[in-house]
Structure 1
Amino acid sequence: MDFRTQTSSLDALSGVNADALVLVLAGDTLPVGLDASVAAAAKDAIKLGDFELKAGKTLVLPRVAGLKAPRLVLACAGKASLKSARSAVQSALSALKSGGTVHAALAFAGFDSLSEALVEQTVLAALEVSYVYRHTKPSAPAAPKLAKLSLLLGKDDAKAAKAGLARGQAIGAGIELAREAANRPPNYATPTFLAEQVKALGKSHGLKVEVLDQKAVEKLGMGSFLAVAKGSTEPLRFIVARYEGAAKTVAPVVLVGKGITFDSGGISLKPGAGMDEMKFDMGGAASVLGTLRAVAELKPKLNLVAIIAACENMPAGNAVKPGDVVTSMSGQTIEILNTDAEGRLILCDALSYAERFKPAVVVDVATLTGACVIALGGVRSGMYASDDELAGALLAAGDAALDPCWRMPLDDEYEEGLKSNFADVANVAGREGGSITAAKFLQRFASKYRWAHLDIAGTAWKSGGAKGGTGRPVGLLTHFLLSQVR
């Protein structure tokens, strides 16, 4: 979508030339000084009961007298909050999605100012509305005709709008890349496919990319990662990409993504119902890929290393079995009590590998546990951190991006259930606190740096009629990385 800015005051909206004029209203009264033609149409719609100044209400009015634009869209946000504004924009643009609107002009009324954040979220709302998956679905609806969005702003808003547009478009591109990767069927989105996506991104944006195959992984001693991968005929890939935007002396931030491109559960086989959604088990890898894209577009002054451990988890005669003991890259031995707790087995070796970069901080991202879905649902991602400052930065980034997380505990007592009679640690504990004990397992392999873990099992995709990847937490991660620029 083509995003533009255009200078126009609220009292001169009737002269705006576009296929549709969209007005997003905050508050329970029409603003003073609103364009006379727009105000008259809105008052008439309210009087007739066709529109209310209540959050979630949207109305499309054709051929309003006095307006140059042939359509007027009224959308009420209710509160003048970022979240309400994004929802109203999405509702308004959705109302135009199936019509003949190619160019929409959008104005806000009742908001304090056109901030960077408001512009960013407007862009993201528009891209959300326009996204259609069609790679393996020739019968998918045609792309929406809406192809251009002009943001109407005052003379003093230009600087904020420019920054918001840049950030919104970069994060939006990252979210779309993450969604596309996650939505591809598992026979398309293989570990090799993920590696090819990172290579293509590296080529187009000047990133350093290295892809390790099984032989290289064996040489590194990643016995835990290898154990998960060996039941599949699809070859594993260990992918490392580097964005260098600061001096070499600046310690990098490292993002680690879980890339299980299909999770059958292995020998501890999952129930058949809903197993198709286990193609989304590479949501962590997809979000790291998308964040890498956003960062490469924005070019912040920081160093970033993106690590993706990618493989399938399949049952086979040679697959890892409950009771097997494997040796991780760190040298710690792991008793595998449940092969469906595989994400932590590939992440632990990736976390050990991250040590070589002498990182300022490491954040791993994974669709790790159903327990996190039970705890937090699909609203907030679970966040664990070994450092209070790091936790605060991630919470703030999530709030700023409207991609929120919630800090979960890491008390030492939760580690008791991971004790094993036959290895240094077991890969699962009891049923209680399953997301926490999974994080405690990972923490054992992240003791040499500041570390955080995001469990996105509830937020990386949606089920039901809206089934598909969400692209979360690309927004959170990108805002976090921008906050780390010194």
Structure 2
Amino acid sequence: MEYTVKSGNPEKQRSACVVVGVFENRRLSQSAQQLDQACDGQLTQLVRRGDMDGRKGQSLMLHRVPGLVCDRVLLVGLGRERGCDERAYIKAVETMAGALQDSGAGDATCYLTEIGIRAWDVFWRIRAAARTLETFFYRFDRLKTAPSEQPRINLRRVTFSVPSRRELSGGEQAASEGAAIGNGMNVARELGNLPGNYCTPRHLGEQALELANGHPRMEAELLDEAAMDELGMGALLAVSRGSREEARLIVMRYRGADDDSAPYTLVGKGVTFDTGGISLKPAAAMDEMKFDMCGAASVFGTLSAVADLELPVNVVGIVAAVENMPDGRAYKPGDVVTTMSGQTVEVLNTDAEGRLALCDALTYAERFRPAAVVDMATLTGAAIVALGHHTHGLMGNNGGLVNELLAAGRAATDRAWELPLWDEYQEQLKSTVADMANIGGPPAGTITAGCFLSRYTKKYRWAHLDIAGTAWKSGEHKGATGRPVPLLTQWLLDRTAR
């Protein structure tokens, strides 16, 4: 999709479609009022006779309205004017997208960006709209012999309105950021949606090389099991032992700043399929365990957005890619493994494998002398119990970093919620035979998982995002969401603005 920004009155736009809003109680937005004046009150007549009342999710397409030079006018319901918040705005953009994909219009000029949203300016509205449009039109049908029955999308260009010419430059930057973030989300969704027999650790490695080849500032390195064994990654390799698919440690480096600038490092859990190992999962919904690599997918998506935007910052992406399978060689409950850090772990449950793969990757991150490290993982079902499917769980060893991520989540409408990482919870990880156990029992399972990871992050600022409830959707709309790519990209954008 091509995005442009312009300033001008709606009634003068020679566009295939001009998009304006209508609030509840049939109140026209400012741009809709301007169109209404130019067409002698025809919009007012339509809403008064009940064709549209402005509720959220409503739309009405008008063709060849006398007095207007555009081919179509699309009215979009905005709901209550005083209650128009981020969610209502994004819903309006989605409604616009749904109506446009059925319309045959090749371009559209969007005046929804004039809608006032508390605390967010026109640049935020443009960026959110571009990101929403990118993700709205995404479809995963590459494995079907016939494409899904979706309307043919003729839309190729969307122009966003800004109040004056002074906002053009900032608006164009906002559109570029929104498109890059949306595309990054789609990169993550594409990887997450692939089934486990397609998306293997080897495939993730190939995708890293492909991503690096497409961006001159990026490079990728793949460590095989022999290299990881030399490094002493006994925890990660223990997870891999029951699978015929070799593990990979994937390292991607984006160089947007000077070599002496400390990189921000993203570490992703890449369990491409998780059976639970010997601690076998129940059969119901086990197919969704292909999504257990969505943390890794988020690293790919964020690096894609960063590279597209050519951000002036150094970023390292590390992915611990592995399958967790049961066979005669698989690690067992009661085994003790030695991590790259030298610490030993008693494995009480082989379905708590993500933290075992991550702990070695987090130790490996030390060599980059990072400015900060953020890991993201579909780590615990307990995160869903605590926070549902709306909010990421967030923990960290540095209050400033945690606050940065919370602020980025709010700005990106990709929110996180801080959970306590107190020493009292560390007690639950005690082991009688090793330095620690890999689980701490049912109470506070998300927090004790974070406590486990914290033991490998003492040499740098670190935060952990548990995305088990947010990385994918189940049911009729089953699929990866692309979160937390918006939060992570916003965090990196904020680091460049300092």
Query: 1:183 matched to which residue of 2?
Result: 193
Q: CA deviation at 1:38?
A: 6.3
Query: 2:467 matched to which residue of 1?
Result: 456
Q: Aligned partners of 2:197, 2:67: CA distance in 1, in Å?
A: 55
Q: CA deviation at 1:257?
A: 0.4
When normalised by structure 2's length, the TM-score is 0.93
Q: CA deviation at 1:27?
A: 7.7
Q: CA deviation at 1:40?
A: 2.7
Q: Aligned partners of 1:31, 1:253: CA distance in 2, in Å?
A: 43
**Structure-2 change in CA distance of 1:43 and 1:179 (3 Å):** same
Q: Aligned partners of 2:424, 2:340: CA distance in 1, in Å?
A: 25
**Structure-2 change in CA distance of 1:61 and 1:344 (3 Å):** same
Contact 1:82 1:117 survives alignment (8 Å): no
Q: Aligned partners of 1:41, 1:390: CA distance in 2, in Å?
A: 54
Residue 363 of structure 1 aligns to which amino acid in structure 2?
Answer: V
Alignment of 1:376-391 (within 5 A): 376-391=387-402
Q: Aligned partners of 1:76, 1:114: CA distance in 2, in Å?
A: 20
Q: String of CA shifts for 1:408-430, please: whole Å, max 9, x gaps.
A: 11111111111111111000111
Q: CA deviation at 1:81?
A: 3.3
Q: Aligned partners of 2:110, 2:352: CA distance in 1, in Å?
A: 47
Q: Does 1:371 pair with 2:382?
A: yes
Alignment of 1:80-479 (within 5 A): 80-108=84-112, 109-111=114-116, 115-139=122-146, 140-141=148-149, 144-153=153-162, 154-206=164-216, 207-479=218-490
Contact 1:124 1:168 survives alignment (8 Å): yes
Q: CA deviation at 1:65?
A: 2.7
Q: CA deviation at 1:7?
A: 2.8
Query: 1:64 matched to which residue of 2?
Result: 65
Contact 2:23 2:53 survives alignment (8 Å): no
When normalised by structure 1's length, the TM-score is 0.95
Partner-residue secondary structure (3-state), 1:43: helix
Q: CA deviation at 1:61?
A: 2.7
Q: String of CA shifts for 1:250-287, please: whole Å, max 9, x gaps.
A: 21111000000001111111111111111010000000
Residue 15 of structure 2 aligns to which amino acid in structure 1?
Answer: A
Q: Aligned partners of 2:23, 2:214: CA distance in 1, in Å?
A: 41
Residue 211 of structure 1 aligns to which amino acid in structure 2?
Answer: L
Contact 2:205 2:248 survives alignment (8 Å): yes
Contact 2:426 2:448 survives alignment (8 Å): yes
Q: CA deviation at 1:474?
A: 0.5
**Structure-2 change in CA distance of 1:43 and 1:264 (3 Å):** same
Q: Does 1:19 pair with 2:16?
A: yes
Any stretches of 5+ residues in structure 2 without a counterpart? none
Q: Aligned partners of 1:457, 1:294: CA distance in 2, in Å?
A: 22
Moved more, 352-361 or 111-120: 111-120
Q: Aligned partners of 1:230, 1:460: CA distance in 2, in Å?
A: 26
Identity %: 46
Q: Aligned partners of 1:467, 1:430: CA distance in 2, in Å?
A: 30
Residue 418 of structure 1 aligns to which amino acid in structure 2?
Answer: L
Partner-residue secondary structure (3-state), 2:170: helix
Residue 156 of structure 2 aligns to which amino acid in structure 1?
Answer: A
Q: Aligned partners of 1:39, 1:257: CA distance in 2, in Å?
A: 58
Contact 1:61 1:72 survives alignment (8 Å): yes
Q: CA deviation at 1:26?
A: 6.0
Contact 2:4 2:172 survives alignment (8 Å): no
Q: String of CA shifts for 1:431-464, please: whole Å, max 9, x gaps.
A: 1111111001100111111110000011111111
Contact 1:341 1:428 survives alignment (8 Å): yes
Contact 1:263 1:279 survives alignment (8 Å): yes
Q: CA deviation at 1:303?
A: 1.2
Moved more, 54-63 or 470-479: 54-63
Residue 20 of structure 1 aligns to which amino acid in structure 2?
Answer: C
